[in-house]
Copies of this chain bind each other. A is one copy, B any other.
Amino acid sequence: MAKDTKLTLTISCPDRVGLVSSVSQFLADNQISITEANHHTDLETEWFFMRHEILLDSSLLSAEQLKQKFSVIAQQFEMTWNISPASVKNRVILLASKESHCLTDILHRWHENELDCEIVAVVANHKEMEKFANWYQLPFHHVDFKQDKAEAFEKLEQVIDSYHVDTIVLARFMQIFPDSLCRKYQHQVINIHHSFLPSFVGAKPYHQAYQRGVKLIGATCHYVTADLDAGPIIEQETHRISHSDTVEDMVLKGKECEKQALARGLKYHLEHRVMVQGNKTVVFAN
């Protein structure tokens, strides 16, 4: 009950004088207190982004009434906006392949209440992942991508849709999402790529990194788009290596970057801290 009074308000719209004061006046008039506030103005596009964590405790408004009243201001300023009660959890499905480190890292953080969401199922094209889903008492779906890929993606889409998910996490899924799914789930699919993008797009990035002789490896958490590994970046991480690291060592050290970048990126996404602007993101990190 109490949790229904905690909400996140996100706004993006053309920048204009009076915008901040209208919003904060509205909140003050309705006895809504602000516990965290972030603004950003993109100077190139003159676009404004705002995120507020608010409390309705002293307000007479319910979440529904708030939405209705706020829509008037929103229209006036041509806002794209969202009000999300903390009590309504983001529904997340996890897709994996045969590497388990990102999958189990996310599952354990969720189990420990580090990630504010409801994980609804695990899908993998390797059955070895089933035991992890079982332990966390989650349904598991095996989809075989070794045969007919189109058919496999159809089955995957059915599974995803059957759960009415908000977010699809590719926890080292290793299959390239078809364009149609990228469009259908725009800004809902989060991938972890095992390189410091835009370096080493595509397959075997650690091998590419080894061949190039870089002194730092990395990982990139991004939204999936039809362009391979080119979607809006949410978070990145790097780790120092040396000539003595083999590809296997790089894979091992890279796992740390992957887990960190994905966990932080997903957390920001779930807390409505990420706002997409063209092919870039505004991330009100905390």
Residue ranges of A at the interface with B (Cβ–Cβ < 8 Å): 17-18, 20-22, 24-25, 27-29, 31-37, 39-43, 58, 100-101, 104-105, 108, 112, 114, 135, 196-200, 212-216, 218, 232-238, 242-246, 249, 252, 256, 260, 277, 279-283, 285-286
Give complex CA distance A212, B22 in Å: 33
- The residues of B that contact A218 with a CB separation of less than 8 Å are 216, 238
Option from B37, B43, B213, B282 in Cβ contact (under 8 Å) with A279: B213
CB of B34 within 8 A of CB of A20, answer yes
Q: A17-B31, A20-B24 are in contact. Are A242 and B285 (CB under 8 A)?
A: yes
CB of B196 within 8 A of CB of A216, answer yes
- The residues of B that contact A233 with a CB separation of less than 8 Å are 212-215
- The residues of B that contact A18 with a CB separation of less than 8 Å are 28
A-B contact pairs, 25 of them (CB 8 A): A17-B31, A17-B33, A17-B58, A20-B27, A20-B37, A21-B27, A25-B25, A35-B41, A37-B37, A37-B39, A40-B244, A100-B112, A135-B135, A198-B199, A198-B200, A212-B279, A213-B281, A214-B233, A215-B283, A216-B236, A216-B238, A238-B238, A242-B283, A243-B282, A249-B286
* Shortest Cβ gap from A196 to chain B (Å): 6
Classify the secondary structure of A's interface with B: mixed
Residue of B nearest to A236 (CB): B215
Give complex CA distance A285, B244 in Å: 11
CB of A112 within 8 A of CB of B108, answer no
Residue of B nearest to A114 (CB): B252
Residue of B nearest to A274 (CB): B243
CB of B20 within 8 A of CB of A243, answer no
